[in-house]
Structure 1
């Protein structure tokens, strides 16, 4: 060991905090015993020398030494239950070290001075006192080897020098024997402390790794925010505390709007940088008692001890911050955040209920109040109960028997033909009556039944294909779950192959909002269906996030314009928009279909714009397959008769 290292060691410098705390804890048990040993042995030596030595040596000096030892004993006992940090513990170790050196010097000086009085027995008692003092110091200060070694040197060197100088053979032998025993004990002490230090260091490393692993297990790797696991653990704890103490508690769930188009357009790296920037803004909005976490994807959540007004204000601040443009990788990206907030109220007995309420109104916010805050209210409670009743009815229903397929025709007006029909599911529940498709599809997705429901409806639809007129195609709608679930797509492909239906007669309709849930998976699913020979239609065109982008990137054959554009076709702006869409589809060689056509004026305007394919109540409402053939024959005959009348009028003189 270098001199500088030895100096640092004796000065208790550069000591690991874990080791300092461990030493301090061990000394709490051992140092009081040392002071008690010194006090008792001092009184014993004083007793045997009383009458031989002057009174100041048998009364005054030992009284001071004993009182000092007892005072230190009381101090150590008083601090045994006190929590100390590493800095305070190190200060106490250094103080103990210094006082041990001072007291050892005083004790050995007094003992050697006392050795000049009395007979052989009294002198032997002094030798024993010094030997026991050394052994006691080594044993009790093992966890502070600097003090133990210093005290041993302070006591042993004068002791050995004194007895070697007496010329008495017995005392020389005793001194040398004591020196050897002390040397062996010092080595044993150092070996023991080395093992103790390794144990503490190993334990410290293990604890640090454990803390780091726990931190990592509770931290989102991308954003550094607490993750979903930590959030729900904290929610359970804070919910219980708030419920017990009658304190307000708010939970908010935040979902980014327009994040997926950014991720799909610019790639996952830009998407990740954007999420990091979002997390940084959320940190900057921090307020007391706030916990904000990333639940996964582009969803975040917060817990806040506050009333509804404060929670709404805070959530509004978040939405305002997220609406400001982000600078990412030399790009300016504009998104927003929708937020749902729920307050701890009567009737909410579990933490997950509070979160579910916030999550429910989040999606209400995304549908009708995007980029803003929606607070849970009793009106939402009735909707949740209705949704729960619907899910319960679905789970207990015989859906295969209760659901049926109706068909709505799609016509080519120029040719006067019914070219396809769209399969639409209908459910008449014995307990709920007629349930709208939007309701039971949403319930199936929430309850995890969508996979089975899709396959059952597809099987019913495939059974109808052979009953259609030759050449007529059949459209089947795919939900967001279907198009992003490889297992569902694989099962659909298997079902089509087993049915023996010519896949070229099938058209699968998807919406942009369904596709953007997982764009890459959706493209793979559509490619798989096209590989069978099926056609793909982009439904509700114009209501998504980036329609032109999806037209270019999706493997589609036809486009169905959303019905919301049709009522405005009689305005200049509406006509211009519809003309632009038709021109775009024509340039991309995509069939363009106007759906939601309600009256003859709309048909006339759309035909003048160049539209040929139509679907809507003006032509026919959805009908059972038994009614399709008669209707198709009648409509085709009517169109043929109309064309004949037009030709006759044109040929008339």
Structure 2
């Protein structure tokens, strides 16, 4: 083993050196025990013939050194060493080994002159046995073994050859040849040992790399989804000893537009920095991972309370609100977090994750940009969700679903320009189910496409009975924008015979943001068909003028949330005026939703609004009630 000073340490060489030291530490105490036993027996056989200095004092010093080295290596064997310490330990062995070997040889040869033929044979046996023991016990530390061999064998061989006695000469020649053969074996073993250690290191490296690939996210280097659930299982197993913990699911709000508008390279940069910010905001007992896409997860351990977990999550949300620097500009996002405590779900990792995910869903709808802790009210909502899901899976769509229509009115003339189709469901098992309840359930499966097409077929048939100037407005889900679903929708419109100019399809901002490229492609296909396209609930989400500019829109529907306080809040009036002006400048129709009072209507008319929808004009109507309720005057051109 070559030892040298170097500023840069090869990790492989450092690991190999430590392996040599570990093997040496296990074997070298055995060598010193052998030397001690052999020295004691040799000294005992010469007590009556040699001076006490040689028979007692000299071996006592050598045995004391051996004992000290046994203790030293016994302590060192189970103690981890860094690279410099390992080098020092082996360097000491390389120096001390030959010195101690020469000391034993000198002592033994000094006894030779006081020995009879039998005792001389004992001395020669002791010397030869010492060499063999040193080589075998130091096979892994080649330099140390060679040092002892060179310090003992040449001198002993020369001593025997110069005695002039044929038997001693033969022993000397035999010793030299056997030692040479053993040195050859030493080199072969040393090379094999090195190859074995390097092979083990490579195997460990590959194993570590496989573990990293299996458990770390390749983009952010955070633990991945697999590692998160493994850690969650560990936390559940240790809840008795470490106390309760809190699980969180984090979703980036507004990330999708960054991918759509700046490209995936910019999106990856944001994800990497978001992971770094989350890790920096995490505490000692906080485990952060990336589940995939723009979704992260966190485990707050250490008997953290709900209030403490909410505080941690708020700091994480704040950390993600700072702008992200991108090439040529910056982008801002926020994060919503769903949290659940470990004592909510009876030790089930799956239930913990599902409830944290539900709390996240609630946060994105009600407290976007903030954390929400799963509560008993959420548990009730989940049960309701599952009940609706079960009822929907077995529902007779054509029989149980129906349509109501709410007019969109020109407030200045009182004339109905179009009617919006609104889905209704009465289940024999779940009763009357609100669209706010059954649409999210349907969107989790392919059922939404079937429901959309079944209701669109019915709406087109109803609209065919209306006057030609009255249009139909129909809502599409985000899942309805897929190429396959869009082909079915276009096919229904063409087969209906209804003039496409009488038809407007509405999509929400959320649907457009989910996959901008898909939304743009689908709406272009509808435009090519000749139908109109409306952006529904404008202002309710993260409104972006980029969507208004890039999407093929004909109409914008302003969310009812801006109308609620318009009678007493000047800010609501100013915002509404700005959106109406925006539509006018972009030559887009503007529909105000949720108008319920005459005062609201008058204010909106004063702001330049014409098209309105709400209970002031009419509640949703069944198809057969439309002529009776609205009257021929409202439906007249």
The TM-score by the shorter chain falls in which range? 0.7 to 0.9
Matched, 1:239 2:230: no
1:469 aligns with 464
CA apart distance, 1:324: 4.2
Q: Residue by residue, what CA displacement relative to the aligned partner does 1:466-495 show, whole Å, maximum 9, x if unpaired? A: 453265654332223443xx3xx4134146
Alignment partners' CA distance in 2, 1:152 and 1:566: 98
Task: Check the 8 A contact 2:486/2:522 in 1, yes or no.
Answer: no
CA apart distance, 1:456: 3.2
- Out of 243, 248, 253, the residue aligned to residue 252 of structure 1 is 248
CA apart distance, 1:550: 1.6
Task: Check the 8 A contact 1:560/1:595 in 2, yes or no.
Answer: yes
CA apart distance, 1:553: 0.7
Alignment partners' CA distance in 1, 2:253 and 2:462: 44
2:208 aligns with 211
CA apart distance, 1:41: 3.4
CA, structure 1 residues 612+336, in 2 after alignment: closer, same or farther (shift >3 Å)?
A: closer
Matched, 1:118 2:112: no
CA, structure 1 residues 603+69, in 2 after alignment: closer, same or farther (shift >3 Å)?
A: closer
- Relative to the length of structure 2, the TM-score reads 0.85
2:430 aligns with 432
Q: Which moved more, 1:51-60 or 1:245-254?
A: 51-60
Q: Residue by residue, what CA displacement relative to the aligned partner does 1:392-446 show, whole Å, maximum 9, x if unpaired? A: 433454445432333334456789876544332212122321110011112334x
CA apart distance, 1:303: 2.0
Task: Check the 8 A contact 1:49/1:58 in 2, yes or no.
Answer: yes
Alignment partners' CA distance in 2, 1:533 and 1:145: 87
Alignment partners' CA distance in 1, 2:600 and 2:120: 126
Alignment partners' CA distance in 2, 1:26 and 1:138: 14
Task: Check the 8 A contact 1:416/1:636 in 2, yes or no.
Answer: no
Task: Check the 8 A contact 1:416/1:639 in 2, yes or no.
Answer: no
CA apart distance, 1:301: 2.9
CA apart distance, 1:307: 2.3
Alignment partners' CA distance in 2, 1:439 and 1:380: 14
Task: Check the 8 A contact 2:537/2:557 in 1, yes or no.
Answer: yes
Matched, 1:517 2:514: yes
1:648 aligns with none
Q: Which moved more, 1:534-543 or 1:390-399?
A: 390-399
2:355 aligns with 357
2:295 aligns with 299
CA, structure 1 residues 545+115, in 2 after alignment: closer, same or farther (shift >3 Å)?
A: same
CA apart distance, 1:313: 2.7
Task: Check the 8 A contact 1:540/1:561 in 2, yes or no.
Answer: yes
Matched, 1:282 2:278: yes
CA apart distance, 1:196: 1.3
Matched, 1:157 2:154: yes
Where in structure 2 are there 5+ consecutive unaligned residues? none
Alignment partners' CA distance in 2, 1:327 and 1:95: 56
1:37 aligns with 34
- Out of 114, 118, 141, the residue aligned to residue 138 of structure 2 is 141
Q: Secondary structure at the match of 2:552?
A: coil
Alignment partners' CA distance in 1, 2:235 and 2:345: 17
Q: Secondary structure at the match of 2:514?
A: coil
CA, structure 1 residues 597+102, in 2 after alignment: closer, same or farther (shift >3 Å)?
A: same
CA apart distance, 1:458: 1.0
2:339 aligns with 341
CA, structure 1 residues 275+346, in 2 after alignment: closer, same or farther (shift >3 Å)?
A: closer
Q: Residue by residue, what CA displacement relative to the aligned partner does 1:103-146 show, whole Å, maximum 9, x if unpaired? A: 31222112222222334443333333322221221111000111
Alignment partners' CA distance in 1, 2:578 and 2:78: 81
CA, structure 1 residues 438+639, in 2 after alignment: closer, same or farther (shift >3 Å)?
A: closer
1:366 aligns with 364
Alignment partners' CA distance in 2, 1:584 and 1:150: 91
Indicate the RMSD between aligned Cα atoms, in angstroms: 3.6
2:454 aligns with 459
Alignment partners' CA distance in 2, 1:401 and 1:428: 9
- Relative to the length of structure 1, the TM-score reads 0.83
Number of matched pairs: 624
2:491 aligns with 497
Alignment partners' CA distance in 2, 1:639 and 1:501: 22
Q: Secondary structure at the match of 1:345?
A: helix
Alignment partners' CA distance in 2, 1:620 and 1:113: 123
Task: Check the 8 A contact 1:417/1:636 in 2, yes or no.
Answer: no
Where in structure 1 are there 5+ consecutive unaligned residues? 644-653
Q: Residue by residue, what CA displacement relative to the aligned partner does 1:474-530 show, whole Å, maximum 9, x if unpaired? A: 4332223443xx3xx413414643783458365321111221122223222323444
2:195 aligns with 198
Task: Check the 8 A contact 2:423/2:455 in 1, yes or no.
Answer: no
